[in-house]
Structure 1
Amino acid sequence: MWSAAYGLADVEEARPMTVDSVCRAQSISKSLTAWGVMRLAEHGLVDLDRPVQDYLGGFQLPDTPYAEREVTVRRLLSQTAGMPLGDVLAQYEPGAEMPTLREDLAAQARLFREPGAGFFYSNPGFDLLEIVIEEVSGRSYAEYMRAEVLEPLGMRESTFVWEERLRPDFPTGYDLRGEPVAPYVYPAKASGGLLAPVEDIARFAAAEMTGEHAADQDVLSPTAISAMHAAETDVTGIFGAVADSYGLGHFIERLPDGRTSVWHGGQGNGWMTHFQAVPSSGDGIVILTNSQRSWPMMGRILGDWASYAGLGSVKFTRIVWAENLLRALAGVIALAGVIALASFLQLGRLARDVRRGIRRIAPFSAAARYRRALLFALGTLVIDALAWSAAQPHLLLSSVLPFVADWAAAAAGLGAATLIATALLAPVDGTATTETDR
């Protein structure tokens, strides 16, 4: 195993990142949680195809129009349970008052589609497995994972519980705008609560190997590991650009030479992470970054790694393609500037015409009716698109080029408002045609 650290753990303090820095692993946690559940299954304590409600103790899945009994452990592990993404922005200062796991899930673990209908990435779905582990093992999730998974795999510096001893050296995260993000925790741990140094995640990646490269570990059998790496569902949506399918807690892709690669990434406020392994060849890589703007860099590193390891390529390099495309369209900034300038000029003309009495608010006026209706529809469409984008927890464009995205959105919003204003201010009947009617 080779490891190295680059850059700063804290910019203001000029504190360097080290290979011993304990980082937020984010959704890499899901793959570890899958190991924890599979260990229970191998001991006959959990049946993957039984309703998860049978293992939740006193916690009841909230009533929805969908069939809660169809939510099985396997469907939670394979992201096909019909659970929502969840509130990815709910984070708390370590030690601060926050909802309990069950209180948090009572609000978030609500089915929004029929279980088994297909892939949909969900954090609450994996956090339900945290309850499963606690109810079945009789231990807290963090203690069970420490004793049954982390320590046996040699991940002795890793933890699912924030410890104040970490604070002095804990890296500062940096968000999409490059602003510092202080340490935080979630009410749940199974979907994104792992804190670990890079070499501990590498030990986990090594444990994912199979065949002649299988690690000497007694947490899971080779059969259980292979089961996690077997496709359960096709991956759709934005994740479909970087993966072919999803197994049990693992994304799966077929490499150009036909071999299977498994991986999981993570993203949170101020952090981006990724691990990838080729179980049949023994090759693996882990990247932990304290910046939420790391996707393009990670894509380049993964592309180089795949090339050097003789793997051909990996789909995550498509992030780089997307970045290059957007940078090729960096004229978007210039275009946005032109749109903003044109909008200001048009708004000035409209204000002048209103003062002169040759335009008035008359949306239903017959004057230039069809042209104004088209302008109103176009402006409304742009506003709706911007509102939808603002409501999304994560957008690829915002992650790859945050400043371009913000500037383009502002210009588009101004342009849409100008179109709507032009549509609502109709020429007064009998007046001469002005520049605004051309």
Structure 2
Amino acid sequence: MKWNGLNRPIEKWSTRVHQLLGLSVILLISGGCSNQSIDQGAPVDTFTQQLDTRVLSLMDSYDIPGTAIALVKNEDIIWSDAYGYADIEQQKKLTIDAVCRTESISKSVTAWGVMKLVERGLINLDDPVQQYLRSWSLPESEYNLNEVTIRRLLSNSAGLPLGSLGEEYSPNIQKPSLRQYLNKEVQLTYEPGSNFEYSNPGFNLLELLIQEVTGRDFNDYMVIEVLIPLGMHNSNFDWDEEFSSRVPMGYDLQGNPVPPYVYPYKASGGLFSTVEDIARFAIAGMAPGNKRQSKILSEDSIQTMHISQINVSGIFGFVADGYGFGHFIETLPDGKKAVWHGGQGHGWMTHFHVIPETGDGIVIFSNSQRSWPLIAHVLSDWSRWIGGTVKFSRITSLVVALWVATGIIFLIAFYVGGKVLRGVITDRRGLSMTLHPYSKNRILEFVLWAALSSVLLWSVAQDYLFISSIFPVGASWLGWGVLFLSFALLFSVIFPGYQRPNYAPKTFGSS
């Protein structure tokens, strides 16, 4: 008995699946490229009403519990609001005065503390950091330790790596000291000054620098010299028991709750703050003449922090041109400069973006690790409203591209799988557990299967995948697509087509 009778419905099913996937890709392209209509220069009330609708829609699409936003115009906070929940289980609403983990926005604030020491003549930017450290020394290295300067630490170009992630501690339990952390994490991995490498240990070494030079606790110094003078009265690098009722629950990529935590260091990611306090910080770095600048740093020092010290590449190069002192730098299409920084931690994402020349800025906080697309869409809307385009909004296009790639992977998987299934049913393919009969296509399929399987196994073994933050909804679909394709390729390899033209395989039921 032959199975040829099943071939027609299988072909029809395969065709429908291909059509459906093709339509999905078209819808994804059109949906990803379409933007809510934002009028340049519209009244604030009009834009914020549009923003309300936009944010709530994005939070629903990406399953984000809470978001807080503050808008700055003409060097003033003109609007702020909070959406969603600080704690889903307790149905506690997120509010503007919620104290949130700012994560790597801490680097931008720390840079101000370092520049304060420069202005006082206590340190020099181009001196080796080791010159100022009495109680701790850089580990021996094949590279010149004197090239690890304060300037390079501030600009993530000192030769230090990203560092370990996920070293989190409950606020009230004992944690390693800063020096213990530095002993484990500080190791030169490339020649200082040769390239950009985003580094948490580098900024935490600056934390020790501040303590050694001033003889004061890092948080005490930052609070008195930077935070309070800027009006950031709800900000602190230390855990405060008052935070217990004010810090929202964080939520990871899977939507699991993440209770408040602290790191064994502070300078690179330990700042707790409110969305309006970070807006005040953003205002302080704007055009000359605003009333907060003279209390902290000179105009020259602020401009120095906003000068690109080194070009950035990779994913950072996709959204910025260079890195200054604790700030990413980009040149906008109209020639103006934008400075910004974001933060990402376990259950948290934050971002501020400022155009110093115009006095425009925005701060976005979210208690979800799934928020990069939301941040990118909001930045896109904001930049369109003020009459420009910021590079971080490119992530919206990247998300669309990843969806398209996922659709193509599924299409290829269905095509290969359907071809193998039809071949087996029509007796044009048979089981072979060796690579004989040989063919270029079969060997290529085997190599692709091995490569995809290796990628999948590596991905499963990782605690965190960068692509999951950019593509929080579609990452699992992409994974399933790759898995489906790898199985389709495997079956194509072990069920090769018969290649001898005079060979007529037996069919089921024949004698």
TM-score range, shorter chain: 0.7 to 0.9
From the superposition, tell whether residues 260 and 371 of structure 1 become closer, same or farther in structure 2 (CA, over 3 Å): closer
> Contact 1:154–1:203 (CA<8 Å) still a contact in 2?
yes
In the alignment, which residue of structure 2 is the partner of 1:298? 375
Deviation per residue, 1:38-65 (Å, 9 max, x gap): 1011111111111111223222222333
From the superposition, tell whether residues 369 and 107 of structure 1 become closer, same or farther in structure 2 (CA, over 3 Å): farther
Following superposition, the deviation at residue 381 of structure 1 comes to 2.0
Following superposition, the deviation at residue 144 of structure 1 comes to 1.0
Deviation per residue, 1:90-131 (Å, 9 max, x gap): 212222233221112212111111111111111111111111
Following superposition, the deviation at residue 383 of structure 1 comes to 3.2
In the alignment, which residue of structure 2 is the partner of 1:169? 246
Q: Secondary structure at the match of 1:4?
A: strand
Deviation per residue, 1:254-275 (Å, 9 max, x gap): 1222111111011111111111
Q: Does 1:368 align with 2:438?
A: yes
In the alignment, which residue of structure 2 is the partner of 1:206? 283
In the alignment, which residue of structure 2 is the partner of 1:319? 395
Q: After the TM superposition, which of the residue ranges 225-234 and 105-114 deviates more from structure 2?
A: 105-114
> Contact 1:24–1:194 (CA<8 Å) still a contact in 2?
yes
In the alignment, which residue of structure 2 is the partner of 1:70? 147
Q: Aligned match of 2:124 in 47, 69, 81?
A: 47
Q: 2 CA distance for matches of 1:339 and 1:191?
A: 48
Q: 1 CA distance for matches of 2:247 and 2:453?
A: 41
Q: Aligned match of 1:139 in 213, 216, 219?
A: 216
From the superposition, tell whether residues 244 and 279 of structure 1 become closer, same or farther in structure 2 (CA, over 3 Å): same
Q: Aligned match of 2:475 in 405, 425, 435?
A: 405
Following superposition, the deviation at residue 84 of structure 1 comes to 0.8
* Structure 2 residues not aligned, in runs of 5+: 1-76
From the superposition, tell whether residues 383 and 268 of structure 1 become closer, same or farther in structure 2 (CA, over 3 Å): same
Q: After the TM superposition, which of the residue ranges 219-228 and 175-184 deviates more from structure 2?
A: 175-184
From the superposition, tell whether residues 371 and 307 of structure 1 become closer, same or farther in structure 2 (CA, over 3 Å): closer
Larger radius of gyration: 2
Write out aligned runs for 1:166-205 (5 A). 166-205=243-282
Q: Does 1:277 align with 2:354?
A: yes
Q: Does 1:382 align with 2:452?
A: yes
Following superposition, the deviation at residue 280 of structure 1 comes to 1.6
Q: 1 CA distance for matches of 2:245 and 2:337?
A: 40
Letter aligned with residue 313 of structure 1: T
Q: Aligned match of 1:84 in 154, 161, 170?
A: 161
From the superposition, tell whether residues 335 and 40 of structure 1 become closer, same or farther in structure 2 (CA, over 3 Å): same
Q: 2 CA distance for matches of 1:126 and 1:345?
A: 57
Following superposition, the deviation at residue 223 of structure 1 comes to 0.8
Following superposition, the deviation at residue 417 of structure 1 comes to 6.1
From the superposition, tell whether residues 15 and 81 of structure 1 become closer, same or farther in structure 2 (CA, over 3 Å): same
Following superposition, the deviation at residue 35 of structure 1 comes to 0.3
Following superposition, the deviation at residue 138 of structure 1 comes to 0.6
Q: 2 CA distance for matches of 1:434 and 1:226?
A: 81
> Contact 2:410–2:485 (CA<8 Å) still a contact in 1?
no
> Contact 1:255–1:314 (CA<8 Å) still a contact in 2?
yes
Following superposition, the deviation at residue 15 of structure 1 comes to 0.9
Q: 2 CA distance for matches of 1:228 and 1:182?
A: 34
Following superposition, the deviation at residue 226 of structure 1 comes to 0.6
Q: Secondary structure at the match of 1:5?
A: strand
> Contact 2:253–2:370 (CA<8 Å) still a contact in 1?
yes
Q: 1 CA distance for matches of 2:329 and 2:264?
A: 28
Following superposition, the deviation at residue 292 of structure 1 comes to 1.1
Q: Aligned match of 2:385 in 303, 308, 333?
A: 308
Q: Secondary structure at the match of 1:46?
A: coil
> Contact 2:354–2:362 (CA<8 Å) still a contact in 1?
yes
Following superposition, the deviation at residue 216 of structure 1 comes to 4.6
From the superposition, tell whether residues 315 and 371 of structure 1 become closer, same or farther in structure 2 (CA, over 3 Å): closer
Q: 2 CA distance for matches of 1:371 and 1:264?
A: 48
In the alignment, which residue of structure 2 is the partner of 1:102? 179
* Structure 1 residues not aligned, in runs of 5+: none
In the alignment, which residue of structure 1 is the partner of 2:234? 157
Q: Does 1:6 align with 2:86?
A: no
From the superposition, tell whether residues 156 and 370 of structure 1 become closer, same or farther in structure 2 (CA, over 3 Å): same
Alignment identity in percent? 48
Letter aligned with residue 378 of structure 1: L
In the alignment, which residue of structure 2 is the partner of 1:23? 100
Q: 1 CA distance for matches of 2:343 and 2:314?
A: 17
> Contact 1:343–1:418 (CA<8 Å) still a contact in 2?
no
Letter aligned with residue 316 of structure 1: F
In the alignment, which residue of structure 2 is the partner of 1:114? 191
Letter aligned with residue 474 of structure 2: V
- Root mean square deviation, CA, Å: 3.1
In the alignment, which residue of structure 2 is the partner of 1:331? 407
From the superposition, tell whether residues 136 and 417 of structure 1 become closer, same or farther in structure 2 (CA, over 3 Å): farther
